[in-house]
Structure 1
Amino acid sequence: MGAVSGVAVAEESSIRPAADEQATLPSVTVTATRREASLRSVPIAISVLNGDLLEQANRNSIDSIVAELPSVNFRQQGGNKDSTIFVRGIGTISTSPGVEPTVSTVVDGVVFARPGQATLDLLDIDRIEVLRGPQGTLFGKNASSGVLNIISRKPGKETTGFVDASYFEGNEKRLRAGISGTLSPELLSASFTALDSSYDGNIDNVSTKKKVNGYDRQGARAKFLLTPNKDLDVSVIADYLRSTSSPTYAVLQSSNTALLQAIAPVQPGLNNRSVVYDLPNAITDFNKGLSAQVDWRNQGYTWTSITAARQWDNEQRTTTSAIGNSADVTRINAAFPATRDIGTLHFRQFSQELRVASPKDTAFEYVAGAYYLHGKDEETYQRIVTTAPGAINYGYAPYSVKSDSYSLFGEGNYKFSPQWKVLTGLRWTRDELAYAHARISTQTVAFPGVQPATANAGSTTESAFSGRVGLQFDISNDISSYATLSRGYKGPAYNVFFNMLNRDTLALKPELSDSFEIGLKALLLDRKLSINLAAFQTNYSNYQANFYDTVAGAVVTRLINAGDVSTRGLELELEARPISRLNLSASLAYVDARIDQFNCPVAAAASCSLNGQTLPFSPKWKSFARASYVVPLSNGLQVDLATDFSWQSKVQYDLFQSATTIQGSVGLWNASVALAAPENGWRLALIAKNLGDKSYATNLVNGTNTVTRAVPRDDQRYFGVNFRKDF
């Protein structure tokens, strides 16, 4: 419940507290049901993160905010196109453009079809609503495990602006500026926010004497709100973000003796932060979009149209060796051949949603609508493997994926007594998916890393229903309980990638999930204490997962229908405001995500004895706690004190349960102290991250006689300052 506390603390730091009788928790409004409602009244397990607090804590991307979300985890590997969000232990690990994410990312009502579109930077965010469990009714086919619903700030009617600047050790700089106000009284308001940020990195490349694992980002967002009359709102949003990064975070944790001699003076180990790269690694992303939302209110009904077009371009240049996994050496010899990969991605999507919401405060309330999404992905990938001077093995593959999805949906609740509601929802989805793939190659037989020439194409169509039923019982005005049965749906998939083989040409079946959840939400002690509790059991069939296999001596990944998996657990969120200046929050999740029945592919080279094993990237226990206190001073000044602590139990990063890919339990402690003048609109903060100086990995990957680890930004203690001025 770090979410709700985020809202409370944000309000606390923006105004000077008065008497203790104001020590009540503020109301939290969410749009998880596609209409505004209080958090307590929504029968869904939801966390809400406040955008201001995320900025103040230097959490500016999806991978950094998961520390505050005990049921959410993030897989970091390669670039943005290879990253994955997990909710309750479930997520899709694949680089194929022919598979959709298990966790849907929605920004201002627009579904992002590819997960990499949302992993760049969080700019001008009001709040993030994290919906846990299948959300197949209102959010569609790619929400079989959960939804990240991101909402940006609305333009204000009065002219306001801000400048926000941060500097952290490691030469990390972040500058944001924005302005908001009315362009035409009672008709048009607008806001504009710009971003410039950079970071040298926290890994030393001993070959080039430079830092890597950093980034350079520039972005902007403009939002216009047109209100011709009191019944009509038109919102137009345009955004652009460019990012260049040096993602050399896969450093060696262990290796064989021969490699140790090759990479000297780098010493593999748990705290290793050095690599040897003769050629630079670089990933460039361009993300931009335009959307228009029209809301028309008539006789209590609200009619909504959301039209959006988005573009994502990505280029990755990486260098690996025979040890694999982007590990840290470039060599040209038989033992360690040099491999240079260059991949480009060009993705376009268009979406249209139409829906109607019934009048509020009636016995029967509902939301119904139709949805269409078109996506087209075009990629190229080339690999050059050099085993000796002049001995080059080369492959080049252009491939594309087209998808069209059509949906009709509706969800409603009927209040058949002052305390009881029955919930019903249903969505019909039709998916059309097609791919084309070709590869030219210097190889006539399989070679590690480069397969022979081939050409394939295919298409598939699937239709399915998803939805939800349940009961909600309001024990009192401040205590609500619910029980729901939900079905999630994720569409068919193709395993489309550079070294695609004939066995990858068949379409994967859609992934289905069935979930039972009970929950309790309560405001107690005169609204000074909030408790959210949820228990869940979700079963997945035709689970789409990456299966690591060996082809011609090289480790490859195969996207397969892995069989049946399940996840069960408990989630607890607490928030308290005992006095007006003190805010406390804590959240805890127990998640047991396991493989029930693994379907071994035909002629698989790897072991399939996985039944009963845990799913990767899912610690059993994870928690987060935050405390903040405001100390009023003379002359209108105040001191804001804040601290937070996140902890998770050990986690297995490998589907095949390797003993070398287990990250032990990790606890991270952060703190900040700020001097603020709310009446004058400025705030100066000192921020400390990872005060315990705990080194840890966000991913561990087995290679050939090696283990590499992903090094996060807060792998060691660092400090920074932040200054903000509102005007």
Structure 2
Amino acid sequence: MKNNHKIFGALTIGALLVSTAYAEEVAEPNSAAIASVTVSATRRDASLQSVPIAVSVLDGDALTQANRTSIDSIVQEVPSVTFRQQGGNKDTTIFVRGIGTISTSPGVEPTVSTVVDGVVYARPGQATLDLLDIEHIEILRGPQGTLFGKNASSGVLNVIGRKPSEQTSGFVDASWYEGNEKRVRAGLSGSIQPGVVTAAVTALYADYDGNVDNVHAGGGKVNGYDRKGARARVNITPNKDLDVTLIADYLGSNSSPTFVAYKSTSAPFSQAIAPVVASAENRRVNTDIPSDISDRNRGLSAQVDWRNGGYTLTSITAVRDWDNQQYTSTSAIGNAAEAARISAAYPATRDIGTVEFSQASQELRLASPKDQFAEYVVGAFYLHGKDRETYQRIVNNGAAINSGLANYGVKSDSYSLFGESTLRLAQDWRAIAGARWTKDELSYDHVRTSTQAVAFAGVQPGVQNSGSTSEDGYSGRLGLQYDVSRNVNAYATYSRGYKGPAYNVFFNMLSRDTLALKPETSDSFELGLKATAFDRRLTANLAVFDTKYKNYQANFYDTVAGAVVTRLINAGDVSTKGAELDLTARPVRELTLTASVAYTDASIDSFNCPAAAAASCNLNGKPLPFSPKWKSFTRANYALALQNGLTIDFSADYSYQAKTQFDLFQSPDAIQGAYGVVNAGIALSSPTSGWRIALVGKNLANKSYVTNLVTSTGYVTRAVPRDDERYFGITARKDF
């Protein structure tokens, strides 16, 4: 109860310090009404307040101004969402309502789907997004398999890009933050043929030195990045019934994600990392070859919308490529050259991995006319994915250097038929019914060679295997929606989620990993209430949910040859239940307040312990990792119009997260205590001249925290977030 009082107290106080995180249209200049928010959560545009789905909406420009420019930072604004930071982009995971898949295997799909301009991203590593030219982001909470597919069994990250304008326009925005973080964007938009062809192009450059010091000779800063990207979009409207959208995008990223020593219980380990000292606020490492990870994401898509007699036929054709190369280490001492730092207990390791992934997808949808007794969306979907990876591990234990090399790949084909309908039973009552059939075909091959015939630290002997599987799956949604009044509606839904079969294909794959995992299914019940009041000066959205997962696909930690390894297994049954509340208020035209809070109880109901497991499996009733019970976000913005035509904006936000366990096996060393982060900003702008300049302060209370803790024998390491300490920056934008 003590934590409950804290969160509600923080929410109440924070409601005085909040501003809108919604992607709002501009309200009337002299009106205090909250503008309507349009979302595509039902695969057709509708008001946020009308859709019977729990949705959070984030404005792209507002996120950029707050220096939240990637997936790991935007989750701070959505209490139901958390993010797992790991060594590289292909190891990162999004969790919604406490549910996510932790695995580096290309043979398993994500639990939370990422969809960008209608295109499904098959691998979570592809979603290393920078907010290049984003209009807004919709986060759909809970199973969304009916309309969004099999890898949306916990939620969807739906990214909507900005459309070209009819009038010729452009912008340049730039920002600089302490730590030598720089970001520049420029864009141009307008008509090529008025009324028929419009186009837009946006380019990005961003880099950051990092906030971790490498004390090794000539080491410098690590845990930074540099990104370069461009996005081009052409909209063609040859007549009033036909729209064609062509999009090409590219994003290249180089980063040095670094885990630092958080705790040491071993004298040899402490000696190995010297002069670095393990501590909760340590931001130093001692490594001769820092982590270096590069990603190249690129894609082409074509969307055609044809309208006839009130019906809309939509076709989305897309191809995407993702290349990833990583140089990392599985040891906290890196690939140390100094022999005195290396021992059999703490060898120096070097991992070199490559990923070449490509996908092709085709979706067809037919949407019926609106305002009919039966409104529906039906469609078909196909996705082909092809993955090729290599992974080499070099281990130096002070006496010898040994290594292993694996070459493996996965092919997948997924076919779906789906449909969802809304039936207007009466003026105030609507029924929702939808279903999806999915067929998955999955195959893999794997070859590993090794310098040793027996296992040594982090490397298994040579092996060769392959396999294939095929499964049919079903998902769907049933529900009722009732208009309590003109400004209040309630809904109750049941959703069935499905995630396809999987293989645990990875560097240290063993013969026990050759069997396909069963598909993961979920059954979710949700009650929701959406309301507006006081002439739209207040909106409130409440959702209560209870979801149970069977054959949950999770990583089980095991010990082989003295090293911790992961095994992807059907872990058993887990569940998540809780409540979410989103409030937006605009008591006067100048002041906008928002507050969001989520209570999530995600726990293990029945854990299936694998045969001959080396680790303990007494996990029933324990919390799932990366699922704090309480999380909240509040923000305020006050916009004051000056007599000289300028506008000054004051803003502040506060995010709170309760105690979080990062380890499935409940290690007491992998717990982050409750913490809160305060940010603020002040901006001066000229609406008529189109310029804006702002001063931004991040983590004003200077609170150090972690986004992940990893336990190993004798030590614990932590991921260091960008705002692990207080910093300031300045941003500027000019529209023309």
**1:350 to 2:360 alignment:** yes
The equivalent residue for 2:314 is: 304
Residue 5 (structure 1) aligns with: 20
Q: Which residue of 2 aligns with 1:51?
A: 60
Provide the C-alpha distance between the structure 1 equivalents of 2:548 and 2:153, rounded to a whole number of angstroms.
11
Give the 3 Å change call, closer, same or farther, for CA 686–397 of structure 1 in structure 2: same
1:611 aligns with 2:611: no
Please list the CA deviations of residues 467-511 of structure 1 after superposition, one character each: whole Å capped at 9, or x if unmatched: 000100011221111000000000000000001000000000000
1:276–1:328 contact (8 Å) kept in structure 2? no
Q: Does 1:465 align with 2:460?
A: no
Q: CA deviation at 1:325?
A: 9.8
Summarize the alignment of residues 176-575 of structure 1 with structure 2, pairs less than 5 Å apart: 176-207=185-216, 208-321=218-331, 331-388=341-398, 391-575=400-584
- Measured in 2, the distance between the counterparts of 1:605 and 1:332 equals 26
Deviations 1:457-476 (A, max 9, x none): 00000001100001000112
Contact 2:25-2:36 at 8 Å conserved across structures: no
CA contact (8 A) 2:222 2:290 kept: no
Please tell me whether the aligned partners of residues 286 and 333 of structure 2 are also in contact (alpha carbons under 8 angstroms).
no
What is the CA-CA distance between 1:290 and the residue it aligns to? 0.2
Check whether the contact 2:23–2:58 (CA below 8 A) recurs between aligned residues.
no
Which of 570, 585, 592 is equivalent to 2:594?
585
* Deviation sequence 1:533-554 (CA, Å, 0-9, x none): 0000000000000000011111
Distance in 1, matches of 2:260 and 2:126, equals 22
1:653 maps onto 2:662 in alignment:
yes
Write out aligned runs for 1:75-114 (5 A): 75-114=84-123
Structure 1 stretches lacking a partner, 5+ long: none
5 Å-filtered alignment, 1:22-37, equals 22-37=31-46
Contact 2:293–2:325 at 8 Å: present in 1 too?
yes
SS at match of 2:644: helix
One-letter amino acid matched to 1:175: V
Q: Say if 1:489 and 1:510, in contact at 8 Å, map to a contact too.
A: yes
Contact 2:653 2:678 in 1 (8 A): yes
**Aligned residue in 1 for 2:644:** 635
Give the distance between the partners of 2:334 and 2:565, measured in 1 at CA: 11
Instruction: Compute the displacement of 1:443 (Å).
Output: 1.2
- Deviations 1:236-282 (CA, angstroms, capped at 9, x unpaired): 00000000111113443334222222222111101100000011320
Task: State whether structure 2 residue 183 is matched by structure 1 residue 174.
Answer: yes
Distance 1:694 1:112 in 2: 35
* Greater Cα offset, 206-215 or 711-720: 206-215
Q: Within 1, Cα distance between the matches of 2:631 and 2:346?
A: 40
Within 1, Cα distance between the matches of 2:337 and 2:200?
44
3-state DSSP of counterpart to 1:261: helix
How far apart are 1:115 and its partner, in Å? 0.6
Q: In structure 1, what is the Cα distance between the partners aligned to 2:177 and 2:655?
A: 21
Note if contact 1:255-1:268 (Cα within 8 Å) is conserved in structure 2.
no
Q: Is the 8 A contact 2:261 2:715 kept in 1?
A: no
TM-score for both structures, normalised by structure 1: 0.97
Output the amino acid matched with 1:636: G
The answer on whether the counterparts of 1:393 and 1:443 sit within 8 Å (CA) in structure 2 is yes
Tell me the amino acid that sits aligned with residue 94 of structure 2: I
**Partner SS for 2:76:** helix
Q: Is the 8 A contact 1:595 1:613 kept in 2?
A: yes
Residues 673-712 of structure 1 aligned to structure 2 (within 5 Å) = 673-712=682-721
The size of the alignment, in residue pairs, is 719
Secondary structure in 2 matching 1:137: helix
Distance in 2 (CA, whole Å) between partners of 1:660 and 1:283 is 28
Cα shift readout 1:193-237 (whole Å, capped 9, x = no counterpart): 000000000000000340000001100000000000010000000
- Secondary structure of the structure 1 residue equivalent to 2:147: coil
Identity of aligned residues (%): 67
1:666-677 equivalences under 5 Å are: 666-677=675-686
Equivalent residue runs for 1:106-145 within 5 Å: 106-145=115-154
- CA–CA distance in structure 1, aligned partners of residues 545 and 92 of structure 2: 26
Which has the larger displacement, 243-252 or 3-12? Answer: 3-12
Structure 1 contact 4–47 (Cα < 8 Å) conserved: no
Once the two structures are superposed, residues 279-311 of structure 1 have per-residue CA deviations (whole angstroms, 9 ceiling, x without a partner) of 132000000000000000000000000000000
Quick one: distance in 2 between partners of 1:80 and 1:306? 27
TM-superposed CA distance for 1:10, in Å, is 7.5
**Deviation sequence 1:698-720 (CA, Å, 0-9, x none):** 00110111010110000000000
Q: Matched residue of 1:636: which SS?
A: coil
3-state DSSP of counterpart to 2:611: coil
Using structure 2 for the length normalisation, give the TM-score.
Answer: 0.96
**What is the rounded CA distance, in whole Å, between the counterparts of 1:142 and 1:277 in structure 2?**
38
Deviation at 1:609, TM superposition (A): 0.1
Q: 1:438, 1:324 → 2: CA distance?
A: 29
> Matches of 2:363 and 2:334 in 1, distance apart?
40
Q: Which residue of 2 aligns with 1:155?
A: 164
User: Could you say what secondary structure the match of 1:97 adopts?
Assistant: coil
Task: Return 5+ residue gaps in structure 2 as ranges.
Answer: 1-10
Asked if the contact 1:325–1:703 (Cα under 8 Å) also holds between the matched residues in 2, the reply is no
Matched to 1:362, the amino acid is Q
Q: Distance in 1 between matches of 2:641 and 2:723?
A: 31
Change (3 A) 1:4 1:235: farther
The 2-side partners of 1:232 and 1:469 are apart by 33
Tell me by how many angstroms 1:119 deviates.
2.0
SS in 1 for 2:280: coil
Alpha-carbon distance in 2 for matches of 1:175, 1:206: 30
| Aligned partners of 2:395 and 2:403 also within 8 Å | yes
Give the 3-state SS of the residue equivalent to 2:145 in structure 1: coil
Please state whether the residue corresponding to 1:448 is helix, strand or coil: coil
CA distance in structure 2 between the partners assigned to 1:481 and 1:370 by the alignment: 30
Tell me, yes or no, if the aligned pair for 1:120 and 1:243 is still in contact at 8 Å.
Answer: no
Cα displacement (A) at 1:165: 0.1
Q: Any idea what SS the aligned residue of 2:319 has?
A: strand
Alpha-carbon spacing, 1:147–1:76, altered in 2? closer, same or farther (3 Å): same
Partner-residue secondary structure (3-state), 2:503? coil
Amino acid of the structure 2 residue aligned with 1:243: S
Task: Report if the CA contact (8 A) 1:483-1:517 is conserved.
Answer: yes
- Contact 1:508–1:561 under 8 Å retained in 2: yes
Q: Secondary structure at the match of 2:148?
A: coil
Question: Do the aligned residues in 1 keep the contact of 2:260 with 2:284 (CA within 8 Å)?
Answer: no
Q: Does the 8 Å CA contact 1:488/1:512 hold for their aligned counterparts?
A: yes
- Residue from 673, 693, 707 that aligns with 1:664: 673
User: Structure 1's 487 and 324: CA in aligned 2 closer, same or farther, altered over 3 A?
Assistant: farther
State the alpha-carbon separation in 1 of the partners of residues 334 and 465 from structure 2: 27
Matched letter for residue 350 of structure 2? R
